[in-house]
Amino acid sequence: MTTALRDLIRNPNAAELELVARYGMLSEDARRERAFEAFAKGGLPHRRVEGWRWSDIKAALPVIETPPTITQTDIRVTDGALVFTFTPTGFTWPDTLPEGIRMLAKPEAQAFGASEDLPLGALAAALSGGGKKPATLMFEVTGTDLPRVHFRFSGAGEANFARIQFVLRPGAELDVSESYLGGAGFTACLVEYSLQEGARLSRTVCQGGGDAEVLAATASVQLDAAADYTQTTLAFGAKLARLETRLTHQGSGAKATLNAAYLCAAGRHADITTEVRHGATACTTRQLTKGAVLDGGRGVYQGKFFVPRNVGQQTDADMQHNALLLEEGAEVFAKPELEIYADDVECAHGNTSGALDANQLFYMRQRGISEAEARALLTEAFIAEALETAGDLEDVLREEARGWLAR
């Protein structure tokens, strides 16, 4: 079995062989097997695969090893938040859960079907679990006035894999946050959110960690009729950090907001990739991505809206990506795509990149603000709009961004 899978991966590198070995050590399970097969068909994605041309995971991850130790400080979340922590070898969870949210023993949501075009999502599904870690951490949410659920991915080690599923029953409401603090050489996780009719979920992602690490956080989101999903991401990149979201509108009148900001220093690579399928009528998508990159940093934005012929009518979708190249030598790659087959839709997209405005910089310096501070203020102002959707975590994300800008 393991040998057959190893043969599936062409020219495997040491990291891929290690992944095969890890799979071989886990208990047998049909879902796990399907997921690993899906991953193994292509192995670690590389630049010759469309969708990964600017984010070559295979090159960034020749071996899986424990990176240099880093300081890990989590973002400040509200008191009373339900905190779950995944480390390379362990898992911690709150003692009790309030009424309105419970853990399920058996997978219910089939949001993720081990699709081959989400190879790192499939890999996370295949390798999560083992020891104290759950193969899939599953939640059913029925309440509305619930404390925030916070996931922390941290701790030193070679690799950290996790799979999380949420089913929000009709009318349920929840705020979720995910904090990627680094520490593992390779982190891959898959988070699936299924929102039933009229449910509301706000997801906030903050990605930090060390610059020797590779991270792939894949989210798969399904929205039933009139569901309302808001996602706000702040990414600082890593050796390579890919934050990918696959969202499907499958009930009419659903609403999705997908905002992100990335800030990349030298040696950091942040990839924000999203694909939204308007598979039901009269659904709305708003997407705003802002980025700022320093010399030696790389930002990648790939956004796609897919609107099928019949079911996608009355789609209202807008996609904007604006990047600041703060210094010579900064790199930003962007691919906004609209694929529309329905005729009664409103779809727009915009994509810009440029430097800070010399007039604004001089005006601020003339008032006595140092060049470094002026640049920091202007950059913070530039990305701030993308963080406005984070609710009570907006200020927290702004502080994180400010900390980066003040370095």
Partner 1 sequence: MNSPCGGSNLPQGVSLARSPAYIRPMLKIDNLSATVGEGEEAKLIIKGLTLDVPAGEVHVIMGPNGAGKSTLSYVLTGREGYEVTGGSATLNGEDILGMEPEERAAKGLFLSFQYPVEIPGVPVMTFVRTAMNSQRKLRGEDEISAPDFIKKSREIAKQLKLDAEMLKRPVNVGFSGGEKKRLEIYQMMMLEPKFLILDETDSGLDIDALKTVAEGVNAMRAPDRGMLVITHYQRLLDHIKPDRVHVMAAGRIVTSGGPELATRLEAEGYDGVLGEAV
- What's the min distance (Å) between Cβ of 234 and partner 1? 16
Question: What's the min distance (Å) between Cβ of 373 and partner 1?
Answer: 6
Rank residues 49 and 369 by Cβ distance to partner 1 and give the closer one. 369
Q: Which of 162, 378, 387, 396 binds partner 1 (CB under 8 A)?
A: 378
Residue 307 touching partner 1 (CB under 8 A)? no
- Chain positions 3 to 62 lying near partner 1, rule: CB under 8 A, are none
Q: Are 88 and 160 in contact (CB under 8 A)?
A: yes
Minimum distance of partner 1 from residue 188's CB (angstroms): 35
Interface residue with partner 1 among 49, 107, 384, 391 (CB under 8 A) is 384
Do 139 and 166 contact (CB within 8 A), yes or no?
Answer: yes
Contact region with partner 1 (CB under 8 A), list: 6-14, 150-158, 344-352, 372-380 = 372-380
Structural contact between residues 300 and 268, judged by C-beta atoms closer than 8 angstroms: no
Binding flag, residue 373, partner 1 (CB under 8 A): yes
Q: How many residues bind partner 1 (CB under 8 A)?
A: 22
Tell me the per-residue interface mask from 186 to 225 with partner 1, x by CB under 8 A, - otherwise.
----------------------------------------
Contacts of 407 (CB under 8 A, 6+ apart): 265
Q: Which of 143, 76, 99, 74 is nearest to 390 (CA)?
A: 76
Q: Report the alpha-carbon distance of residue 298 to residue 59 in Å, rounded.
A: 15
Number of continuous H segments (helices) and E segments (strands) in the chain:
8, 19
> Is 341 a residue that touches partner 1 (CB under 8 A)?
no
Q: Which residue of 29, 337, 371, 395 would you call a contact of partner 1, by CB under 8 A? A: 371
Beta-carbon-side half-sphere exposure of residue 25 (alpha carbons within 13 Å): 11
DSSP 74-88: -----TT-EEEEE-S
- 151's CB contacts (< 8 A; 6+ apart) are 83, 84, 85, 86, 162, 164, 176, 177, 178, 179, 191
Choosing from 17, 377, 391, 394, the residue that interacts with partner 1 (CB under 8 A) is 377
Q: How many residues does the chain have?
A: 407
Cβ distance to partner 1 smaller for residue 21 or 406: 406
**Binding-site member from 78, 381, 392, 406 for partner 1 (CB under 8 A):** 381
Instruction: For the CB of residue 362, give the shortest distance to partner 1 in the complex, in Å.
Output: 5
Q: For the chain, what is the radius of gyration of the CA atoms?
A: 21
Q: How far apart are CA 37 and CA 119, in angstroms?
A: 10
Nearest in space to 276 (alpha carbons), one of 190, 200, 347, 176: 347
Q: Which of residues 347-366 bind partner 1 (CB under 8 A)?
A: 357-360, 362-366
Based on CB atoms, which residue is closest to partner 1, 197 or 373? 373
Per CB under 8 A, 406 contacts partner 1: no
Between CA 269 and CA 260 the distance in angstroms is 15
**Judged by CB, which is closer to partner 1: 108, or 357?**
357
Burial pattern 290-326, b for ≥16 Cβ within 10 A else e, equals bbbbbeebbbbbbbbbbbbeebbbbbebebbbbbbbb
Q: How big, in percent rounded to 5, are the helix, strand and coil portions of the chain?
A: 20, 40, 40
In this complex, which beta carbon is closest to partner 1, that of residue 34 or of residue 365?
A: 365
In whole angstroms, the minimum distance from the beta carbon of 370 to partner 1 comes to 5
Using the rule CB under 8 A, give the single segment among 52-60, 71-79, 211-219, 369-377 that binds partner 1.
369-377
CA angle 332, 117, 333 (to 5 degrees): 5
Q: How far is the CB of 53 from partner 1 (least distance, A)?
A: 33
Based on the shown chain and the rule CB under 8 A, indicate whether residue 369 belongs to the binding site for partner 1: yes
Our CB check for partner 1 shows the closer of 183 and 291 to be 291
CB of 389: closest distance to partner 1 in angstroms?
15
Q: Supply the minimum distance, in Å, between the C-beta of residue 48 and partner 1.
A: 40
Binding site for partner 1 (CB under 8 A): 357-360, 362-371, 373, 377-378, 380-382, 384-385
